[in-house]
Amino acid sequence: MHDGETAVRVEVRQAYAAAARRFAEGAGGCCGPDCGDRAAGAPAEPGFYTATDRERLSDATLLASLGCGNPTAVAALVEGETVLDLGSGGGIDVILSARRVGPSGVVYGLDMTDEMLALARRNAAEAGVANVHFLRGHIEDVPLPSNSVDVVISNCVINLSGDKPAVLAEIARVLRPGGRVGVSDVVAEDRLTPAERAERGSWAGCIAGALSKGEYEAGLRRAGLEDVEVEFTHEIADGLHAAIVRARKPA
């Protein structure tokens, strides 16, 4: 364990490094060490991305998706915007975002796992997108200036953090005034206690660390964001759902 690292961060890093190695070998995978942790743990289901999106992505890029939705559609990206993808993994949402914002826009992908960053850079190079930058770092301490991005996206990653207030505060910090959040994540029903969430799956499997709907909404507001929405899309375990999360930084 590196100095200052928590057990949660080490568990997540090891799980995703192993997943990246499997993807590099052409094998499928899941969010955590136990594929039974969540139904969305397999490579991206067709419903998450449009047929056009899938046709423009390599098989290797699609295989490396561990998400639970399509944040590029949730965020309604437009040409010329600057986008930050928290926990960019194999790069699928960075590549799609880069195409949506066009050559006048820019997309940053942030990940803490060297193996995932290497995989994402290879996938982006094969996709021929030049307006992307992959950064090594933690979503609790984003290596970008304040007020520097128009949109923050993330795909089933915020639930993996052991310090979600820090993540939400960083989102608010890096967003420009009027900037927005478009996130896909695993969210629990308010009836489930943290212990009950942990009974349903591991932290690295995107279950034990999931916020409840009410916790998510309150956390975004405490971070200074407004127009907060958390909408369940489909159930992935008893009381746990893939969800769309939206918010905006006051102008």
Residue 55: pLDDT band with limits 50, 70, 90: low
Average pLDDT, the chain: 84
Q: Which tens digits make up the pLDDT trace of 138-153?
A: 999 999 999 999 999 9
Q: What integer is the mean pLDDT of 58-69?
A: 63
pLDDT attached to residue 2: 44
For residue 155, give every residue at least 6 positions away whose Cβ sits within 8 Å of its Cβ, in sequence order, or none: 65, 66, 67, 68, 69, 70, 71, 85, 87, 89, 92, 93, 183, 184, 185
Q: What is the pTM of this model?
A: 0.84
Domain ranges of the chain: 7-248
Q: Are the C-beta atoms of 121 and 87 separated by less than 8 Å?
A: no
CATH number assigned to the domain covering 7-248: 3.40.50.150
Q: Is the dihedral of CA 216, 7, 85, 17 positive or negative?
A: negative
pLDDT attached to residue 52: 65
Q: Which tens digits make up the pLDDT trace of 75-86?
A: 999 999 999 999
Q: Is the dihedral of CA 27, 71, 237, 221 positive or negative?
A: positive
186 or 13: whose pLDDT is higher? 186
Q: Are the C-beta atoms of 99 and 106 separated by less than 8 Å?
A: no
Q: Which tens digits make up the pLDDT trace of 26-50?
A: 555 444 334 333 333 333 443 476 6
Q: d(Cα 74, Cα 225) in Å, to the nearest integer?
A: 17
Q: d(Cα 32, Cα 201) in Å, to the nearest integer?
A: 9
Amino acid at 115: E
Q: Are the C-beta atoms of 232 and 242 separated by less than 8 Å?
A: yes
pLDDT at residue 185 is higher than 90: yes
